[in-house]
Amino acid sequence: MRIVILLLLVSGGVFAQTAQKEINDQVWKPFIKGFTEGDTEMFMSVHSKDLVRSPRDSKEVLNWEGYNNQTKAGNERRAGDKVKLNIELHFTERINNSNQAIDVGVYKTTWKSADGKSGAGYGRFHVVLRKEDGIWKILVDTDSDENNTIGEAQFLSAKPME
């Protein structure tokens, strides 16, 4: 009996790691690349067409089309202003089964303008993902700086993506 329980625990851990690797490869790596490169198509490709997006600090709720339009306009502005952006994700919680997942963590965005000015911003994200036709997609995405209480300390205390 102990062997069966041990095998179940080990196989569950392996499954979780496999799903997280799939999510990293199918969602987070292209998300980061699309964000950093200002590539709206790549960035939006990791989001479900059923997306619910809420940047909670601005009290908005967007669907896929609204978020796509907002992202495209932001990327065009950024390109025109020659602003470089980067994003890093660290995780505090990752839960999944075979076709659903929840990722919670802290992001750090850094920017540098054409005149050399730079800065950083932080926020906590909560993301619900699901598999659609065998591919992981972001279904729900919310984030907030929680009244400017999220910063470098919270970012560093969370776990980097493996």
User: CB of 63 within 8 A of CB of 52?
Assistant: yes
Q: How far apart are CA 18 and CA 66, in angstroms?
A: 32
> Sign of the C-alpha dihedral, residues 138, 144, 145, 150?
negative
Question: Would you say domain 2-160 falls under CATH 3.10.450.50?
Answer: yes
- pLDDT for 162 equals 82
Higher pLDDT, 3 or 91: 91
Q: How far apart are CA 4 and CA 16, in angstroms?
A: 18
79-130 tens-digit pLDDT: 999 999 999 999 999 999 999 999 999 999 999 999 999 999 999 999 999 9
Inform me whether the pLDDT recorded for 157 exceeds 80.
yes
What mean pLDDT do residues 6-35 have? 77
Which residue from 81, 88, 79 is spatially nearest to 37, judged by alpha carbons? 79
Q: How far apart are CA 51 and CA 136, in angstroms?
A: 13
Annotated domain spans of the chain: 2-160
Q: Report percent pLDDT > 70 for the chain.
A: 90
